[in-house]
Structure 1
Amino acid sequence: MSSQQTSYPGAVTSMISYGDRVQGFLAIPENQQGPFGAVVLGHERYGLVQHTLDLVAKFAAHGYVGLAPDMFSRWDGDKEALSRGDIQVRISDEDIRSYMGDSLDYLLSHPQVDPDRISAMGVCQSGDYPLVLNSLRHEVAANIVVYGGAQARVWEVDEYRPEAYESMLERVEAPILGIWGEDDQVVSVEDMRRLRDVLESKRKTYEFTLFSHMPHGWMNSTMPGRYRPKESEQAWSMILEFMERVHAGELPKDRVVWRFQSDIAPDYDFTKKVRLA
């Protein structure tokens, strides 16, 4: 962490330890009066890197307590290689629920957090983590999925995911905000539509937006080849507005709301999408 920025205007930040040997980055709104809403944030495949810290601190600057667990806290491999993207580590649903669940428990017991206003967010590799968590933990008020959570791998049943994703989605209770990009080389339009169709079949509330021309990871300001400032701020505003509406009771559990917005080329071809630096 020594090479990373951990001080941000509008946020009081710290590295903390909690739960079952979990390390996490915590950000609390500075000079504001709680109790606050809160967000458990799953990081990308690279681990607890600068981009994740930036997102957590940004939540705090907007009046939310943010907590990002290091989902590899108990993994003994080469974290430098992981942060560079040289290797990729997958964790089981049991571990996902452990890390995210311990983080949820930490926030539920935090004196500055409103326990009725806790959201879960996943980005890239962690896109499905909020839904995995919410399938068992119904204290989650809102789910946010950012360019993940629908790719082919999440539907596979194996040693990491012994229960089918579709089966888990049956138990998800909180509304879901989904954000993807047309030029994503990881999640295809068909992947996103598959998730949409499953959620509709199970009568789950969702709001999905597919941004035109956006590559995978376009909200990551530490990757200049992918970062799109204008669309990143648009997505960020959508996230904040969605949580505000959920917490205000505008998406009640006794109603099912489906909102789907897409902007793609008529000759869209997923096989031609490439990974950007």
Structure 2
Amino acid sequence: MARGAVVVIQEIFGVNNDVRSIADRFADAGYFAAAPEMFHRSGKGVDIPFSEMQAAFAERGKLSNDDIAADVQATIDYLRSNPDVDADNIGIVGFCFGGMVSYLGSTMDGIKAAAVYYGGGILPRPDSPPDAPRLLDDTADAVQAPIIGFWGTEDGGIPVSNVEEIERVLKEKGKSIENHIYEGAGHGFFCTERGSYHAEASADSWPKTLAFFGEHLK
């Protein structure tokens, strides 16, 4: 019997041990899982230390939204090439930069459900210039898949007001979004290898993610 699949999108640091472990957890839950290297244009196996934020942002800056969409589509096509994958039941999950990618995935025909963990870049950071691009404004109408979002109150780059605006705009357009905001959690709270790891938020969000995909990928 064919099974659903999940595209697992990295943080801004590359496909590292943490990302691979998340893909393994989805596999243990019964899904096929694929974690594409979004920085493959710079070579194979890009793995940036968490302390080297400037290098990570530099890699991110090399990617256009068209590049991102092409990589997600290639991953969908790869999964669909496996006869054991249910081609109509593919979801996407992403963390940090990957959360934004997962949000973009919700606009794509091949994605059935999208889980967004502290997705940066959907709305500008608080310290962005007034004319910074607003991805939400450009893409909200195109959202097709239901979204579940996980955020922290202590995320310096994504204030709760941004989370509330994302939810308001999407719901006003008739889109399906369910947000969970964790008191005391910061950016990167799901990553066990980062100083911002928040055990309670991580433990609560994982079963909610599995339940969400269990509802929509069937």
* Of 207, 211, 217, the match for 1:241: 211
Quick check: 106-115 or 54-63, which moved more?
Answer: 106-115
State the shift of 1:59 in Å.
Answer: 0.3
- Hey, what does 2:147 align to over in structure 1? 176
Whether the aligned pair in 2 keeps the contact of 1:151 and 1:186 (CA below 8 Å) is no
Give the drift of 1:57.
Answer: 0.5
Give secondary structure in 2 for the equivalent of 1:83. Answer: coil
Deviation for aligned residue 1:84? 4.0
- Tell me what 1:191 maps to: 162
Q: Is the 8 A contact 1:45 1:85 kept in 2?
A: no
Aligned-residue CA RMSD in angstroms?
Answer: 2.3
User: Which amino acid is 1:83 matched to?
Assistant: P
2:34 is paired with a residue of what secondary structure?
strand
Rounded to whole Å, the distance in 2 between the matches of 1:236 and 1:60 is 14
Structure 1 residue 169: deviation in Å?
1.8
Letter in 2 for 1:63: G
Please, which runs of 5 or more residues in structure 1 have no aligned partner? Answer: 1-33, 249-277
Q: Is the 8 A contact 2:15 2:46 kept in 1?
A: no
Equivalent pairs, count: 207
Give the share of equivalent positions with the same residue, in percent: 29
The superposition leaves residues 47-88 of structure 1 with CA deviations (integer Å, 9 ceiling, x where unpaired) of 0111100100000011011101000001259945x3344212
d(CA) in 2 for partners of 1:142, 1:209: 16
Alignment of 1:96-111 (within 5 A): 96-111=68-83
Q: How far does the alpha carbon of each residue in 1:197-219 deviate from its partner, in whole angstroms, 9 at most, with x for none?
A: 21022110111110111111111
Q: Distance in 1 between matches of 2:44 and 2:31?
A: 32
Runs of 4+ in 1 over 6 A off after TM superposition: none
Higher share in strand: 1
- The answer to whether residue 85 in structure 2 is matched with residue 113 in structure 1 is yes
1:165 to 115, 136, 155: 136
What does residue 227 of structure 1 align with? Answer: 197
C-alpha displacement of 1:194: 1.4
Matched ranges for 1:132-143 at <5 A: 132-135=104-107, 137-143=108-114
Higher helix residue share: 2
Q: Deviations over 1:12-71 (max 9, x none)?
A: xxxxxxxxxxxxxxxxxxxxxx42111111100100111100100000011011101000
SS at match of 2:178: strand
Please say if residues 185 and 216 of structure 1, whose CA atoms lie closer than 8 Å, have aligned partners that are also in contact: yes
Q: Which residue of 2 aligns with 1:83?
A: 49
What is the CA–CA distance in structure 1 between the aligned matches of 2:157 and 2:46, rounded to whole Å? 23
Q: Residues of 2 paired with 1:42 and 1:78: CA distance?
A: 14
2:16 is the alignment partner of 1:49: yes
Structure 2 portions without partners, runs of 5+: none
Displacement of 1:108: 1.6
Match of 2:38 among 71, 75, 82: 71
Query: Which residue, 9, 24, 28 being the options, matches 1:61?
Result: 28
Q: Highest Rg: 1 or 2?
A: 1
Measured in 1, the distance between the counterparts of 2:173 and 2:113 equals 17
SS at match of 1:63: coil
Contact 1:46 1:85 in 2 (8 A): no
Q: Which amino acid aligns with 1:54?
A: S
What is the TM-score when the length of structure 2 is the normalising length?
Answer: 0.87
SS at match of 1:179: strand
Instruction: After TM superposition, give the deviation of residue 167 of structure 1 in Å.
Output: 2.6
**In 2: Cα distance, 1:227 partner to 1:79 partner:** 22
Per the alignment, do residues 220 and 170 of structure 1 end up closer, same or farther by CA in structure 2, a change over 3 Å counting? same
User: Structure 1 pair 116/77, CA: closer, same or farther in 2 (3 Å)?
Assistant: closer
Give the Å deviation of 1:124.
0.3
